[in-house]
Structure 1
């Protein structure tokens, strides 16, 4: 009778092992075996991190093995089990790999195919087509799209401090070089401007091509800040004026979560200037959108505390937009859309599923937790923002490093696409892929053309670009806007999470006492410090960009592409490390050895 050797690998994470009964049956082209209990006498099977082998003898020839069914049945108490993979040695000496990398819960079962990636058109056998269809039907019941209204995640957000120095009482407990430098220099205009390029939220600043009517600033107002003997309009034409507009916050009510403390929001407009030292500095701030006598334009030439409080209001607004839009919406929630669409429309055997699964590893789980407790356009370096020129803005490290990582990912995705799609026609005819893209567009982007996402893909190049967006968003973009939070936001006056007094409506009346009373109280400051510290930490089992320990792909060409991807990323790591040498403010958030594969915190 034919005999097979089955090797079973259990995960090494906590509680991965099981004492439940594990049964296995083989489905071949010529027949199906009975269920076999995988058990060794006087041996504790399926322990955490174990690799166990079993001999399975069948009554008749099964032909080519097409599927392996693994069932878990209760022994005493329900005991979840993490199955990494199975390997099968056939009676003819062939080895077949069956990747799993998933939990089996309760009285559960999984049906596995061998590890070769296959498009739907590659499956000509009825049982494989049926398995593919049933897998997606099951997943579509588990993963359902639902609208998350904006007010659901606008809710992210009692004695006063004595003065700015009083904030050090909590700050010095946890410190690092960048955050200490922020504490010392946060009031300086060039430090204020630098954060729009390389801080937590480096995506809002754009070149100003025309002064907005709602910001009636004149040359006379900012003359003392202009260094080229040009008018403000001429500086705009020369490309030296930049703008950050927090219009998104206009009309939003502040939280009323604390009945003892009123909270306030502003929707400022900040005009910035590239001076002769190539530094970006603020030259005008209006704290609300509609100009008027009670909405003055604050200037560097104003009284010290007038100008300082105006900048603090901008930093607070930047914090809110960063947390709700840049961080939560454009990395966490967008990545979740990709993840859910992937599980709904791509079977585990599909090459795009195998490529993306590492990049949505914890996203759905962490977002579910965030909703319980806390709560784009294609071109991430868009020319429409006017920020693409290295010569014009030489210290925009987010842009420079991001482009290096983007190109490395794009090269990798293009290689993988080329392995499985020999022509544009194959892309267009891959219905599972098209359903995935459509799911993202219809449910994730609500069918809005303005989202910049397509509802179909027609070429290998567009598919590669799309996959680059998915991977970059979940890895590099999230790293850029998440892991610097303690660096830039732990000094409370530099990133106030809440303001306890309304924006000033007149000049010449602001005092240091008024500023301190406007900043968060002691309780909220401590909560904020703990939150940004926790959000800035890597996970204990973090997998960084290019690391694929779960071998969903078994084909040699893809493994070689992965190796080249890692080599390209190492080059980027070296370039960034060399650039950062001797810098007082090093920028390392987009160094690939610090970019997790997926949104995990």
Structure 2
């Protein structure tokens, strides 16, 4: 190739460019300046993209080599923004020793994109490989600008808003042993003037918080995100929404009022309110969404949980089924001792053992005794007691009034669960060390007892909703994965095989996390406004992170740890499920095994032995920094594996891919289908269980529906919460699903390509089996009383038609929303 270039022989090449434009609302100023620079023959930025999905430079008919394709996947800024030359690599596999010369193209440098372990890197490429990683690490100093391609770590010191007073102060998560947390991407903004420990914040509606430019949403993704965030946006902006209620301020007066959100919307009360809302909205394209006549404002799509039957969600059967096939099916565990014990320190919290008795639950156990049910593995528990009790006194000092809950279930012969009791506990009035004060409620269908039981289920659902959003979803996917993304870009070259393996599973995560810190999980943000822990939400998740274990995130390990499965080599996947019809586990184990097989075949191609893994300097530095820096508050935990064997590398990569793809899909994309109807998944309780002889109890007897609605999430919180989860539950139109890549030319190594093709076909087979199970009437947990099939782990690979929206199915490659 060098000789051909020296002779200046012409080679046909194709470059497709994409510039920023005025629709790029992340950066309107730079987009406008692009037009100015065009007059002088200069461009501010360019993107190399393909006609299909990604951004190539393709050289055709290269003598002796044929077609060479460069997958650049990067924004390029003017040369004066860089202190180094940009380097891109083609996807061509190992050809011969003469093809590794760098092709100079102005400030861009293109080389053969070969998949190389560090020790295999040809000498001409080694310098570029090493220098690129140094550039990506940065120097740890100064505020980072949009053109800085720097991946670095910071604590969660950007949540507080000190300028708004003490109620908006928040602890720095990750700075002190009392508040451990995963690290997030560094922005380098200056300390806040009123609190040097807090990083200064951008204006609330600014969406250009720094993440490395290549981690930002595509224009298509950003447009989708913006369009569906409109409803949440103007509710934050417009306090006049409190005037929308018809009879009572901020209350639903009936279940029909709730249904009107989906069936008719809310009509604004007067022209003045309409004008105020429209005038507050920042862009004309958004203002047009609020009609001049005010009709049908805030009309939401009908959630699947009430689409077929508007009342089936209230049944005990559906309440229990959703612990196995709902939006948070990852908490339920098998009860192995009775009464349920607590792991809280008795010196600090006194006696926290459950007060549920045999006499209370055995009348509902189909003739079984507690001892018999334990022996036959028929007792299960949804346990939110220990996680919430330490924070309950703080939480209930706010407008929230809630409990720590334990919910017991009996496994019946048809594999469905039957609720037996709900225990609601409060801290002792004389202090935490005096233990818990608990009340136990058992099933009832009629009269005031039935109404009390419905409220008990609502309190349990509030606990589960908050834990789901803060822990199962935010902490255990978004937050814990970000350090892996940062470390991967700092220590794994783009030509490293593990970088190529993991990179699709990191797409958009840093961007969505940054937006979350800006508007959702910050002090006074949407999450605090709509989920019961309120201002203590992230602080509580920090306490729970202290018990996070990386290796436990493997699905088989998790199922065994929760007692939902036991090892059994004679069963599929080597596990015997304690509930055979457990949709999340049944579908999940198939997906887990498919991922594990794909990762095994891929890694085995590049790592012929354990010794090669040990000698891979990039892998070793990547893993060490992930532990010591990215998850630094847990760096000394003994459970961290050493990546000194191929099996350990395969397991680590499988866990990362599982968490970023299937696990996130299971706990995210069911939010609107299940919780878009807030009475089914209330996020806040505003008063305690009414006591006999009180006005609240009399109201419960007279109008149980009104009492229920006055207890759970208020109207404004409901509308705001539904707006949020509608955005979070939507697939982007440019979504890339598990088993797919953004370009077919991500590598030219034949064996990995064949293994990946096999992986995709395996996922299509799994789709067929999921649909068959959903159509099997014997499997009652698959559809349930609400007639809503479980499709959250349906890969959507065979339907790769860019279907976006509220599909309730599909496993994206990454945590992209």
Fold conserved between structures, TM > 0.5:
yes
In the other structure, the counterpart of 2:391 is 252
What is the deviation of 1:284? 1.5
CA distance in 1, matches of 2:815, 2:624: 23
Distance 1:91 1:163, change over 3 A: closer
Distance 1:235 1:144, change over 3 A: same
Q: Helix, strand or coil for the counterpart of 1:273?
A: strand
Correspondent of 2:312 among 169, 185, 201: 185
Equivalent residues in 2 for 1:395-406 (5 A)?
395-406=581-592
Q: Runs of 5+ in structure 1 lacking a partner?
A: 19-71
Equivalent residues in 2 for 1:306-385 (5 A)?
306-375=452-521, 376=550, 377-381=552-556, 382=558, 383-385=560-562
What is the deviation of 1:272? 1.5
Equivalent residues in 2 for 1:2-21 (5 A)?
2-5=8-11, 7-10=13-16, 15=21
- Whether the 8 Å contact between 2:664 and 2:815 is mirrored in structure 1 is yes
In the other structure, the counterpart of 2:418 is 281
Correspondent of 2:770 among 571, 576, 587: 576
Residues 2-46 of structure 1 deviation map (CA, whole Å, 9 limit, x = unaligned): 32526244367975999xxxxxxxxxxxxxxxxxxxxxxxxxxxx
Q: Helix, strand or coil for the counterpart of 2:73?
A: strand
Q: Helix, strand or coil for the counterpart of 2:738?
A: coil
- Whether the 8 Å contact between 2:613 and 2:645 is mirrored in structure 1 is yes
CA distance in 1, matches of 2:637, 2:755: 31
Distance 1:264 1:78, change over 3 A: farther
In the other structure, the counterpart of 2:708 is 515
CA distance in 1, matches of 2:359, 2:599: 52
Q: Helix, strand or coil for the counterpart of 1:117?
A: coil
Equivalent residues in 2 for 1:123-202 (5 A)?
123-125=121-123, 127-141=124-138, 142-148=150-156, 158-172=249-263, 173-181=300-308, 183-202=310-329
Does residue 476 (structure 1) correspond to residue 662 (structure 2)? The answer is yes
In the other structure, the counterpart of 2:177 is none
In the other structure, the counterpart of 2:86 is 110
Distance 1:99 1:206, change over 3 A: same
What is the deviation of 1:81? 2.3
Does residue 220 (structure 1) correspond to residue 226 (structure 2)? The answer is no
Q: TM-score scaled by structure 1?
A: 0.83
Distance 1:452 1:403, change over 3 A: farther
In the other structure, the counterpart of 1:93 is 64
CA distance in 2, matches of 1:431, 1:92: 35
Equivalent residues in 2 for 1:393-542 (5 A)?
393-446=579-632, 448=634, 454-503=640-689, 510=697, 511=700, 512=704, 513-542=706-735
What is the deviation of 1:151? 5.8
CA distance in 2, matches of 1:535, 1:562: 29
- Whether the 8 Å contact between 1:2 and 1:91 is mirrored in structure 2 is no
What is the deviation of 1:177? 3.9
- Whether the 8 Å contact between 1:409 and 1:472 is mirrored in structure 2 is yes
What is the deviation of 1:519? 1.6
Q: Helix, strand or coil for the counterpart of 2:72?
A: strand
Distance 1:189 1:560, change over 3 A: same
Residues 306-328 of structure 1 deviation map (CA, whole Å, 9 limit, x = unaligned): 11111101111111111111111
What is the deviation of 1:538? 0.5
In the other structure, the counterpart of 2:789 is 586
Deviates more, 1:262-271 or 1:327-336: 262-271
- Whether the 8 Å contact between 2:427 and 2:437 is mirrored in structure 1 is no
Q: Helix, strand or coil for the counterpart of 2:415?
A: coil
What is the deviation of 1:188? 1.2
Distance 1:268 1:180, change over 3 A: same
Equivalent residues in 2 for 1:524-563 (5 A)?
524-550=717-743, 551-563=745-757
RMSD: 3.3
- Whether the 8 Å contact between 2:328 and 2:468 is mirrored in structure 1 is yes
In the other structure, the counterpart of 1:49 is none
- Whether the 8 Å contact between 2:473 and 2:664 is mirrored in structure 1 is yes
CA distance in 1, matches of 2:737, 2:321: 27
Deviates more, 1:486-495 or 1:514-523: 514-523
Q: TM-score scaled by structure 2?
A: 0.62
Q: Runs of 5+ in structure 2 lacking a partner?
A: 1-6, 25-37, 50-54, 90-111, 139-149, 158-169, 174-180, 182-231, 237-248, 264-299, 342-352, 429-434, 522-549, 566-574, 777-782, 797-809
Q: Helix, strand or coil for the counterpart of 1:296?
A: strand
Distance 1:277 1:151, change over 3 A: farther
In the other structure, the counterpart of 1:29 is none
